[in-house]
Amino acid sequence: MFDDIFAAVGITVLKTPPRTPRANCYAERWIRTVRAECTDRLLIYGERHLRAVPDEYIDHYNGHRPRQARGQRPPDHDELVVLMEGRIERRKVLGGAINEYLRAG
C-alpha cells in the first residue's frame, strides 16, 4: 500500500534487512521526533488534515527548530540572538501545539 503512495511521487522504497537496527536509525529518530512533537499532541480529523499536519511540521523542523549542533540556533538564523533587544513575536505552528519566537521587525 505505502509503496504505491511513494511511487506516485517518484520515491523508491528500500526495505531494511531484518535485525539491523543501525540500518534505519535515522528514519527511526525522525519518526520518534515527529510523533513526540507533532502527531501525539493533535487529534487528526481526516485524511486531508493528516496530509497537512506533517507538511507544516516539516517547515517548522527544517526552518525554525533549534539544533544542538548549532548552539541551539535554528537553521534559518546564523547570528547569535541577544535576548534583551527589541520585541519578540510568537507564531503559532500546528494551531498552537508548537510556538516559534521571532524578533519583531
**Average pLDDT over the chain, rounded to an integer:** 81
Of 9, 82, 20, 95, nearest in space to 52 by CA = 95
pLDDT tens digit string along 1-44? 667 878 888 888 888 888 777 877 888 888 888 899 888 888 88
10: Cα separation from own chain's centroid: 22
